[in-house]
Amino acid sequence: MAATLKVEVDGIEPGGGPVRVALCQGGLSEPFCTRGDEAPASGGRASFTFQDVAPGAYAVAAFQDANGNGRLDRTGLGLPLEPYGFSGAVARRGRPDFSDAAFALQEPGAAVRVRLARALPRR
């Protein structure tokens, strides 16, 4: 049994670099986010499709890689410097608990939306 997950990312800043998304299971840190994708930022919105995903509990993490270095840049205190977001109804306070961002993915699939925002004003 496999499902398809469609991810819609909005809140993309114009001219701000590609958007990266990761499908996470069990946690939101890098070891738990084993499937990912990237798309150019255009029109304020990007769509991603993950195919052949086993049913289960997942979360999506996304960010706009403004400088194209392949990672979410942070301040010395750990606050994100680039637009970022998560699935679920999470507050803008850093990385949420997995349970707050998680959703159930069942066959045939699901669609989730992630809204990007900045933790700090643009420099």
Predicted TM-score (pTM) of the model is 0.91
Rg (Cα) of the chain, in Å, rounded? 14
- Spatial CA neighbour of 59 closest among 98, 113, 29, 21: 98
Residue 79 and residue 77: Cα distance in Å, rounded?
Answer: 6
CA 33 vs. chain centroid, Å, equals 10
With residue 99 as reference, give the H or E element that holds it: helix 98-101
If the chain, 123 residues long, is cut into consecutive pieces of 10 residues, what is the mean pLDDT of each piece?
Answer: 93 91 95 95 90 96 94 90 88 79 92 92 76
